[in-house]
Amino acid sequence: MFGAAPDPAIWNMTDHQTADPHEIPDLTEAEAAEELRHLAETIAHHDRAYHQHDAPEITDAEYDALRRRNAAIEARFPDLIRSDSPTHRVGDTPETGFAKLRHRVPMLSLDNAFDTEEFAEFLARARRFLGWTEAMAVVGEPKIDGLSINLTYENGRFVHGATRGDGTEGEDVTANLRTMQALPLRLSGNAPAFIEIRGEVFMTKADFLALNEAQLAAEAKVFANPRNAAAGSLRQLDPRITAQRPLSLFAYAQGETSEPVAESHWVYLQRLRDWGFTVNPLSRRLETEEEAAAFQAGIAEQRATLPYDIDGVVYKIDDLGLERRLGFVGRAPRWAIAWKFPAEQATTILREIRIQVGRTGALTPVAELEPVNVGGVLVARSTLHNEDEIARKDVRIGDTVVLQRAGDVIPQIVSVIAERRPPDSVPYVYPDICPACGSHAVRPPGEVVRRCTGGLTCPAQRVERLIHFVSRAAFDIDGLGEKTIQEFYAEDWLHSPADLFRLPAREAEIATRDGWGKLSARNLSRAIEARRRIPLERLIFALGIRRIGESNAKLLARHYGNYAHWREQMLAASEIGSEERIGLGSIIGIGPAIAEELAEFFGEPRNVATLDELAAKLTVEDAAQPQATDSEIAGKVVVFTGTLETMTRPEAKARAETMGAKVTDSVSKKTDLVVVGTDAGSKARRAGELGVKTVTELEWRALAGFD
Give the count of beta carbons closer than 10 Å to the beta carbon of residue 133: 7
Q: How far is the CB of 364 from Zn ion (least distance, A)?
A: 13
Q: Reduced to 3 states, what is the DSSP secondary structure of residue 21? A: helix
Q: With respect to Zn ion, which residue has the nearer C-beta, 459 or 517?
A: 459
Q: Reduced to 3 states, what is the DSSP secondary structure of residue 552? A: helix
- Burial classification of residue 627, based on how many CB atoms lie within 10 Å of its CB (0-12 exposed, 13-18 middle, 19 or more buried): exposed
Q: Reduced to 3 states, what is the DSSP secondary structure of residue 560? A: helix
Give the DSSP H/E element, type plus range, for residue 123. Answer: helix 116-130
Q: With respect to Zn ion, which residue has the nearer C-beta, 253 or 434?
A: 434
Q: How far is the CB of 450 from Zn ion (least distance, A)?
A: 11
Q: With respect to Zn ion, which residue has the nearer C-beta, 452 or 590?
A: 452
Contact, 410 vs 399, CB < 8 A? no
Q: How far is the CB of 432 from Zn ion (least distance, A)?
A: 12
Q: With respect to Zn ion, which residue has the nearer C-beta, 369 or 452?
A: 452
Question: Site for Zn ion (CB under 5 A): how many residues?
Answer: 7
Q: With respect to Zn ion, which residue has the nearer C-beta, 191 or 452?
A: 452
Q: With respect to Zn ion, which residue has the nearer C-beta, 495 or 686?
A: 495
CB within 8 Å of 634: residues ≥ 6 apart = 628, 659, 660, 661
Q: What binding mask, one character per residue, do residues 143-162 give for Zn ion by CB under 5 A, x or -? A: --------------------
Query: What is the Cα–Cα distance from 539 to 544, expressed in whole angstroms?
Result: 9
Taking each helix axis from N to C terminus, what angle separates 205-217 and 226-234, rounded to the nearest 10 degrees? 70
Q: With respect to Zn ion, which residue has the nearer C-beta, 236 or 607?
A: 607
Among the residue ranges 195-203, 216-224, 432-440, 551-559, the one whose residues contact Zn ion (CB under 5 A):
432-440
510 interacts with Zn ion by CB under 5 A: no
458 interacts with Zn ion by CB under 5 A: yes
Among the residue ranges 62-70, 132-140, 450-458, 566-574, the one whose residues contact Zn ion (CB under 5 A):
450-458
Q: What does each C-alpha distance from 194 to 2, 41, 189, 261, 410 come to in angstroms?
A: 33, 42, 14, 11, 41
| Parallel/antiparallel/unpaired status of strands 194-202 and 147-154 | antiparallel
Q: With respect to Zn ion, which residue has the nearer C-beta, 604 or 697?
A: 604
Among the residue ranges 146-154, 170-178, 245-253, 449-457, the one whose residues contact Zn ion (CB under 5 A):
449-457
Query: What is the Cα–Cα distance from 196 to 158, expressed in whole angstroms?
Result: 10
Among the residue ranges 58-66, 417-425, 430-438, 627-635, the one whose residues contact Zn ion (CB under 5 A):
430-438
Q: How far is the CB of 603 from Zn ion (least distance, A)?
A: 14
Q: How far is the CB of 434 from Zn ion (least distance, A)?
A: 3
Among the residue ranges 113-121, 372-380, 443-451, 452-460, the one whose residues contact Zn ion (CB under 5 A):
452-460
Q: With respect to Zn ion, which residue has the nearer C-beta, 148 or 607?
A: 607
436 interacts with Zn ion by CB under 5 A: yes
Q: How far is the CB of 546 from Zn ion (least distance, A)?
A: 13
Beta-bridge partners for 403: 346, 413
Query: What is the Cα–Cα distance from 433 to 218, expressed in whole angstroms?
Result: 36
Q: With respect to Zn ion, which residue has the nearer C-beta, 436 or 647?
A: 436
Residues between 41 and 100 that touch Zn ion (CB under 5 A): none
Q: With respect to Zn ion, which residue has the nearer C-beta, 43 or 456?
A: 456
Among the residue ranges 210-218, 262-270, 271-279, 433-441, the one whose residues contact Zn ion (CB under 5 A):
433-441
Give the count of beta carbons closer than 10 Å to the beta carbon of residue 472: 9
Q: How far is the CB of 491 from Zn ion (least distance, A)?
A: 22
Query: What is the Cα–Cα distance from 37 to 384, expressed in whole angstroms?
Result: 26
Q: Is 518 a catalytic residue?
A: no
Give the count of beta carbons closer than 10 Å to the beta carbon of residue 253: 22
589 interacts with Zn ion by CB under 5 A: no
Query: What is the Cα–Cα distance from 648 to 584, expressed in whole angstroms?
Result: 9
Q: How far is the CB of 359 from Zn ion (least distance, A)?
A: 11
Among 272, 332, 452, 704, binds Zn ion (CB under 5 A): 452
Q: How far is the CB of 354 from Zn ion (least distance, A)?
A: 15
Q: With respect to Zn ion, which residue has the nearer C-beta, 189 or 438?
A: 438
Q: With respect to Zn ion, which residue has the nearer C-beta, 406 or 434?
A: 434
Whole-angstrom distance between the N-terminal and C-terminal Cα of the chain? 43
| Parallel/antiparallel/unpaired status of strands 336-340 and 111-113 | parallel
Q: What does each C-alpha distance from 5 to 243, 314, 403 come to in angstroms?
A: 24, 15, 22
Closest by Cα among 198, 34, 26 to 104: 198
Annotated catalytic residue within 100, 143, 554, 683: 143
Contact, 314 vs 337, CB < 8 A? yes
Cα R_g (the chain), whole angstroms: 32
Among 286, 413, 434, 528, binds Zn ion (CB under 5 A): 434
Query: What is the Cα–Cα distance from 543 to 48, expressed in whole angstroms?
Result: 25
Q: How far is the CB of 503 from Zn ion (least distance, A)?
A: 24
Query: What is the Cα–Cα distance from 332 to 62, expressed in whole angstroms?
Result: 24
Give the DSSP H/E element, type plus range, for residue 416. Answer: strand 412-416
Query: What is the Cα–Cα distance from 370 to 646, expressed in whole angstroms?
Result: 56
Angle at 340 between CA 337 and CA 346, to 5 degrees: 175
Query: What is the Cα–Cα distance from 692 to 686, expressed in whole angstroms?
Result: 8
456 interacts with Zn ion by CB under 5 A: no
Q: How far is the CB of 358 from Zn ion (least distance, A)?
A: 10
Among the residue ranges 69-77, 271-279, 427-435, 611-619, the one whose residues contact Zn ion (CB under 5 A):
427-435
Q: How far is the CB of 525 from Zn ion (least distance, A)?
A: 31
Among 454, 497, 591, 677, binds Zn ion (CB under 5 A): 454
Among the residue ranges 193-201, 457-465, 587-595, 612-620, the one whose residues contact Zn ion (CB under 5 A):
457-465
CB within 8 Å of 629: residues ≥ 6 apart = 660
Q: How far is the CB of 9 from Zn ion (least distance, A)?
A: 38
Query: What is the Cα–Cα distance from 78 to 696, expressed in whole angstroms?
Result: 30
Query: Phi/psi at 449 (nearest 5 deg)?
Result: -100, 135
Q: What binding mask, one character per residue, do residues 558-587 give for Zn ion by CB under 5 A, x or -? A: ------------------------------
One-letter amino acid for residue 224 of the chain: A
Among the residue ranges 75-83, 439-447, 583-591, 687-695, the one whose residues contact Zn ion (CB under 5 A):
439-447
Beta-bridge partners for 112: 338
Query: Phi/psi at 327 (nearest 5 deg)?
Result: 60, -145
CB within 8 Å of 636: residues ≥ 6 apart = 661, 662, 672, 673
Residues between 170 and 189 that touch Zn ion (CB under 5 A): none
Among 101, 437, 598, 673, binds Zn ion (CB under 5 A): 437
Q: What binding mask, one character per residue, do residues 385-424 give for Zn ion by CB under 5 A, x or -? A: ----------------------------------------
Q: Reduced to 3 states, what is the DSSP secondary structure of residue 221? A: coil
CB within 8 Å of 454: residues ≥ 6 apart = 361, 434, 437, 438, 439, 440, 461, 604, 606, 607
Give the active site residues: 143
Q: Which residues bind Zn ion (CB under 5 A)?
A: 434, 436-437, 439, 452, 454, 458
